[in-house]
C-alpha cells in the first residue's frame, strides 16, 4: 500500500522539507545496529507517512505532546531514550503493534516495508518546515461563488437544519447528508483529512440570522473552506483559503463576521473575514509554557466561540495555556492567557455556556476555565489521556448536571459534576466512572435520550474497535454493547444524534487510507437501540455534525 497526500498543499510542504533535509547533511550516531540511510524517494514517502499519521501526536519537530518525543537523541526532560538508541527493529515493533499507553497499532495500515521506512525516518533529524506569511495566505484565497450569487433562500427544498455534515477523511471531502431522507446530497471538496467543521452558533452576544447555513472546515493541510448549505450541491463550496501547512481547528465568531483557524505549523492562528475568507490577522502562538520553558512548536489545538462573550477560546497545546481572544476589536486584539496544563486537545462547554471543559491529554486532567471571569476554574484528575471529543453533558440523579469523557489510554468513561451554581459540592469533582472494554475517542448524548454512547476506537483488538458501549444515565451501567461490523481493518467511531434526538448515527470507517467509498454510517433508534438504517457510499466517514444540534449547543 502506498500513502499519498490528497492535496497539493501538503505535498508542497513535504517537498520543502525533503529539500531542506537533503541539503543539511544529516549525520547519524554510531550504533550497534547498522543504520541504513533513506534515499530521496524513501525520505519523501516516509515524510508523507509521518505527516499523515504521526505528527498530530508527536509534533512536526517530534518533540512530543500526547505522544512521546521521537527526537533522535536522548532527552532527559521528556524521559526519552532517543530513537537512535532504540534502533530500527525496536521501532518497527512499536509502530506495528502499538503501545499500552494509547498508541494504535499500524500493522493494518502500513506494510512491513513502510513500517521499516518510518522506523528509519524517525531516527533522522527532523527538517524544519517553512513559515507562512499573510501575503501567501491571501494569494491562496479563492472565491468559487461570487457574493452576488449567494441565494436568499435554500435552493434544494430540503430540511437543511437536519443535515449531517460528515468528514470523509481519505479523499479530502465533506459529505452533506439529508437526515430526514437518509441520502447523500453532495460530496464537497475540502482540505486533506478534515479534522473539524464549525458553523456560526446561536450566541447571547448576537448571531447571524442564518446561523448554521455556512460551515467552515479545517484540513490537516491548513486549507480552510466555506460551505453554503443553501446552494445546489454542485455549488456548495463557495470559498477557500490556506492559513497553515498543518492545522486542526476552526471557529466562527458569534456575530458571523470572522472565522479563526489554528495552525500546528506554523504555530499561529489566523483571523479571516467570514464572508470572503480573506485572511486579516496572524498571531504567533509561540511562547513560554507553564513550566517556564520557551516553546517554538506551540501548536493551536481546539478553538471554540464562547456563547456568552465576544471571544474565542484558543487552546495552546504545548504551552498548557488557554487564550481567550476577544474579537470585538481585532485591530487592538485583547488576549487573556490562562495557565492550565499540558497538552490541551478537545473540549466542550457546560450547559450554561460559561465554563469550558477541555482535556489536557498527557497531564491526565480535564481543565475547566471560566469564560466570564477569564480565569482557570478547576482541574480534574482523570485516568490516562482523557479525550471527550465534542463531549457530553447530562443530568445525574445524585450529582446533578455532569459532563463526561472517554480516554485514549484506558477503557473508561469518567463523569464529573459541572454545576457550581446549584450543586456546589459536586462541581468539578468526579461523580462516577464506568469501565468499558477499550480506549475510546468520542462520547455523546442528547437531552431527550436515556443513554450515553461511547466508542472504543483506540483498542488494538478488532472486535472491541468495532463495537460501541451504551450507558444508562440512571443506573450508570453499560446496558448494551453494539458491534457494528466484522470487516477486517474497520472500526466504529463517533456518534451523533439527529435533530429531535430520536436517532443515533455511528460511523464505520477503514483505518487504512482508501480512495474508494468503503465506509458507511449506521443509524440506531435512540430508545430501542435497534438498527433502523444505513447510509452507504461514503469515503472513510469519521466526525458527523448535525446542523441543528451544533448550532444550538445540544450535547
From CA 161, how far away is CA 163, in angstroms rounded? 6
494 is known as an active-site residue: no
- Which DSSP letter does residue 170 get? G
8 A C-beta contact, residue 127 and residue 17? yes
From CA 360, how far away is CA 347, in angstroms rounded? 9
Q: One of 103, 224, 236, 322 is an active-site residue; which one? A: 103
57 is known as an active-site residue: yes
The runs of H, that is alpha helices, within 65-111 are 83-97
431 is known as an active-site residue: no
Spatial CB neighbours of 109, under 8 Å, sequence gap ≥ 6: 1, 53, 511, 512, 513
- Which DSSP letter does residue 362 get? G
- Which stretches does DSSP call E strand in 91-206? 142-143, 163-168, 173-178, 183-189, 196-199
Of 536, 525, 532, 498, residue with least CA distance to 165:
498
Reduced to 3 states (helix: H, G, I; strand: E, B; else coil), residue 20 is: helix
Within 10 angstroms of residue 455's Cβ, the number of other Cβ atoms is: 29
8 A C-beta contact, residue 260 and residue 250? yes
290 φψ region: left (φ > 0), alpha (ψ -120 to 50), beta (else): alpha
Q: One of 17, 49, 58, 399 is an active-site residue; which one? A: 58
8 A C-beta contact, residue 312 and residue 251? yes
Q: One of 57, 124, 137, 224 is an active-site residue; which one? A: 57
The runs of H, that is alpha helices, within 25-82 are 40-53, 55-58
What is the torsional sign of CA 178, 193, 445, 373? negative
54 is known as an active-site residue: yes
Distances (CA, A) of 332 to 272, 294, 327, 449, 490: 15, 25, 9, 44, 49
Q: One of 54, 132, 218, 495 is an active-site residue; which one? A: 54
387 is known as an active-site residue: yes
The runs of H, that is alpha helices, within 448-553 are 462-465, 547-551
Of 250, 254, 255, residue with least CA distance to 216:
250
Q: One of 187, 207, 268, 387 is an active-site residue; which one? A: 387
8 A C-beta contact, residue 166 and residue 174? yes
Reduced to 3 states (helix: H, G, I; strand: E, B; else coil), residue 452 is: strand
Q: Quote the Cα angle for 237-241-245, to 5°.
A: 125
Q: One of 195, 207, 268, 345 is an active-site residue; which one? A: 345
From CA 364, how far away is CA 124, in angstroms rounded? 30
Catalytic residue list: 54, 57-58, 103, 345, 387
Amino acid at each position: 500500500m502506498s500513502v499519498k497526500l490528497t492535496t497539493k498543499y501538503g505535498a508542497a510542504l513535504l517537498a520543502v522539507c525533503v529539500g531542506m533535509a537533503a541539503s543539511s547533511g544529516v549525520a547519524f550516531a554510531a550504533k550497534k545496529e547498522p543504520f541504513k540511510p533513506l534515499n530521496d524517494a524513501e525520505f519523501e514517502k516516509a515524510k508523507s507517512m509521518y505527516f499523515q499519521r504521526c505528527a498530530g501526536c508527536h509534533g512536526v519537530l517530534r518533540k512530543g505532546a500526547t505522544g512521546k518525543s521521537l527526537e533522535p537523541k536522548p532527552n532527559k526532560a521528556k524521559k526519552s531514550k532517543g530513537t537512535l538508541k532504540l534502533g530500527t527493529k525496536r521501532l518497527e515493533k512499536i509502530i506495528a503493534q502499538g503501545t499500552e499507553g494509547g498508541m494504535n497499532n499500524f500493522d493494518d495500515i502500513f506494510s512491513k516495508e513502510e513500517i521499516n521506512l518510518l522506523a528509519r525516518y524517525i531516527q533522522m533529524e527532523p527538517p524544519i518546515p517553512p513559515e507562512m506569511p499573510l501575503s501567501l495566505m491571501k494569494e491562496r484565497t479563492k472565491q468559487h461563488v461570487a457574493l452576488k450569487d449567494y441565494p436568499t433562500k435554500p435552493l434544494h427544498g430540503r430540511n437543511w437544519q437536519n443535515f449531517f455534515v460528515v468528514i470523509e477523511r481519505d479523499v479530502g471531502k465533506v459529505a452533506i447528508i439529508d437526515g430526514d431522507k437518509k441520502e447523500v446530497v453532495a460530496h464537497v471538496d475540502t482540505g486533506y483529512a478534515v479534522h473539524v467543521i464549525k458553523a456560526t452558533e446561536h450566541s447571547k452576544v448576537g448571531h447571524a440570522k442564518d446561523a448554521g447555513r455556512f460551515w467552515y472546515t479545517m484540513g490537516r493541510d491548513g486549507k480552510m473552506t466555506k460551505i453554503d448549505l443553501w446552494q445546489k450541491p454542485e455549488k456548495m463550496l463557495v470559498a477557500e483559503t490556506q492559513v497553515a501547512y498543518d492545522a486542526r481547528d476552526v471557529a466562527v465568531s458569534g456575530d458571523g463576521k470572522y472565522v479563526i483557524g489554528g495552525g500546528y505549523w506554523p504555530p499561529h492562528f489566523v483571523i479571516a473575514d467570514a464572508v470572503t475568507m480573506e485572511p486579516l490577522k496572524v498571531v504567533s502562538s509561540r511562547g513560554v509554557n507553564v513550566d517556564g520553558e520557551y516553546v517554538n512548536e506551540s501548536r493551536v489545538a481546539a478553538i471554540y466561540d464562547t456563547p456568552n462573550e465576544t471571544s474565542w477560546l484558543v487552546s495552546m497545546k504545548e504551552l498548557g495555556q488557554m487564550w481567550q481572544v476577544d474579537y470585538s476589536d481585532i485591530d487592538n486584539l485583547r488576549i487573556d492567557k490562562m495557565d492550565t496544563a499540558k497538552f490541551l486537545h478537545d473540549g466542550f462547554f457546560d450547559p450554561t455556556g460559561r465554563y469550558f471543559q477541555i482535556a489536557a491529554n498527557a497531564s491526565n486532567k480535564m481543565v475547566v476555565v471560566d469564560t466570564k471571569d477569564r480565569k482557570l476554574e478547576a482541574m480534574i484528575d482523570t485516568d490516562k489521556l482523557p479525550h471527550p471529543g465534542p463531549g457530553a453533558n447530562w443530568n445525574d440523579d445524585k450529582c446533578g448536571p455532569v459532563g463526561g469523557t472517554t480516554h485514549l489510554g484506558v477503557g473508561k468513561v469518567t463523569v464529573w459534576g459541572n454545576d457550581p451554581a446549584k450543586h456546589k459540592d459536586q462541581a468539578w469533582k468526579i461523580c462516577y466512572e464506568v469501565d468499558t472494554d477499550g480506549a475510546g475517542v468520542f462520547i455523546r448524548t442528547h437531552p431527550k435520550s436515556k443513554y450515553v454512547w461511547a466508542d472504543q476506537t483506540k483498542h488494538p483488538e478488532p472486535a472491541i474497535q468495532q463495537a460501541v458501549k451504551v450507558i444508562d444515565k440512571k443506573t450508570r451501567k453499560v446496558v448494551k454493547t453494539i458491534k457494528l461490523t466484522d470487516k477486517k481493518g474497520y472500526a466504529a467511531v463517533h456518534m451523533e444524534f439527529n435533530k429531535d434526538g430520536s436517532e443515533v448515527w455511528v460511523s464505520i470507517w477503514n483505518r487504512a487510507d482508501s480512495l474508494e467509498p468503503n465506509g458507511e454510517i449506521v443509524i440506531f433508534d435512540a430508545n430501542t437501540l435497534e438498527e433502523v438504517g444505513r447510509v452507504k457510499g461514503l469515503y472513510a466517514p469519521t466526525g458527523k455534525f448535525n446542523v441543528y444540534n451544533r448550532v444550538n449547543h445540544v450535547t
